[in-house]
Structure 1
Amino acid sequence: MTKHADDGHDWDRLIAHARAGEPHAMDDLLAAARPLVLRRCAKFLPYRDDAEEAAQEALLTIATRLDDFGGRGSFAGWVTVIASNQALQTYRSMKKRFGDVESEAAGDRPDPRTTSVIAGTRLDLLDALEQLQLDHPAVVEAFVLRDLGALPYDEIAQLTGAPLGTVKARIHTARAYVRERWSGPATTL
């Protein structure tokens, strides 16, 4: 049984009922996963509305790809990967849409870097992650799962299919890279 002390859900039961097509089972599964998904998206995106949008997209992905979850690693870990990827995709999409240039259309949203240390730091981290993805794509997933998703090393190894030592090395590489490029306040990741 996949039941975690931190969330109290019997994921195996919820997944089995949803896969069996029982009435309301998918709704129950998604309702149970929603707080986890929203927390993960909110770690990346500084505005609640953006995090909500990313969470909705992630929940849709979870619903449509539930059969892809094979039990390698925990369901919460799988959900974390989907939510993290969706939040990053939402950020990239927003950045592409709005660019770094202030526009009249974005005028109702002040620059988070000037209004909130926390929100600005998130954006700086997203920028560093985006560059990390370009320069060292193999290390991003492990870094995100460990430092933003708070998953244990062994679960990251299961989810990624990489040996534990490789996972630790990737996380170390990513941390050093992000630390070197960090434009926010000095911090320990």
Structure 2
Amino acid sequence: MHAPDVEELARVASAGDLAALNVLLVAVRPEVLRVCVRLLPNREDAEEACQDTLLAVARGLPRFEGRSAFRTWMYRLATNRSRSAYRRTRSHVPAGSDDVLAEVADPRRTSMIAATRLDLLDAMAQLRPELAEAVALRDVLDLSYAEIAVLHQVPEGTVKSRIHQARRELRKLLTA
């Protein structure tokens, strides 16, 4: 049995077919979770962001106009929900609270890679959306330039340019 065509399922589900919506949500959940896990420092936050994303997909699909590929829209939702989960986590840390900060930064709970991801999320939030999406799809999700071009419905050269610009801006932000 072959995997369902996500773009077709999204089109049918956006027209109000609840069975197609259910199949779509089951089909994309692993992909959404992968995005969230790669962006957030712990599994619980990633699971929560994944659920928030799937709920946003279900609620927003009737209004999805298809100006971009469904997956591009879904990745944007997942990235935004991951950023929100990260901000919520950070906002629960009282300013100047060394004990709480020490607990959050405990290396047994937060790896160096996770801390780097958090810095990356902060920096990516400062980029223009089309740059942040392109670099996330390439460097976080390992999609090819051609796949990103198809998802964004732009030439491959535009994708390469956006990724180059995003990396240059991220380098400045992360070394500042």
TM exceeding 0.5: yes
Match of 1:59, as an amino acid? Answer: L
Tell me how many residue pairs correspond in the alignment. 172
Distance in 1, matches of 2:95 and 2:106, equals 12
1:80 corresponds to which residue? 75
Uncovered stretches (5+) of structure 2, i.e. residues with no partner? none
- Residue of structure 1 aligned with 2:137, choices 140, 145, 152: 145
Which TM-score applies when normalising by structure 2? 0.75
Tell me which moved more, 116-125 or 32-41: 116-125
Counterpart AA for 2:40:
L
> Aligned residue for 2:104?
110
1:70 matched to which residue of 2? Answer: 66
Q: Work out the CA distance in 2 between the residues paired with 1:182 and 1:102.
A: 24
Match of 2:159 in 1: 167
The 5 Å alignment of 1:1-189 reads 8-12=3-7, 14-15=9-10, 18-19=13-14, 21-22=16-17, 24-67=19-62, 68=64, 70=66, 72-73=68-69, 75-98=70-93, 101-102=96-97, 106=100, 110-111=104-105, 115-130=110-125, 132-133=126-127, 139-160=131-152, 162-182=154-174
Give percent identity, aligned residues only. 41
More helix by share: 2
Unmatched tracts of structure 1, length 5 or more: 184-189
- CA shift at 1:116, angstroms? 1.6
What is the CA distance between 1:45 and its match in structure 2?
A: 0.5
Question: TM-score with structure 1 length normalisation?
Answer: 0.71
Task: Give the 3-state SS of the residue equivalent to 2:104 in structure 1.
Answer: coil
The answer on whether the counterparts of 1:77 and 1:155 sit within 8 Å (CA) in structure 2 is: no
When residues 17 and 45 of structure 1 are mapped into structure 2, their CA distance, relative to the original with a 3 A threshold, is: same
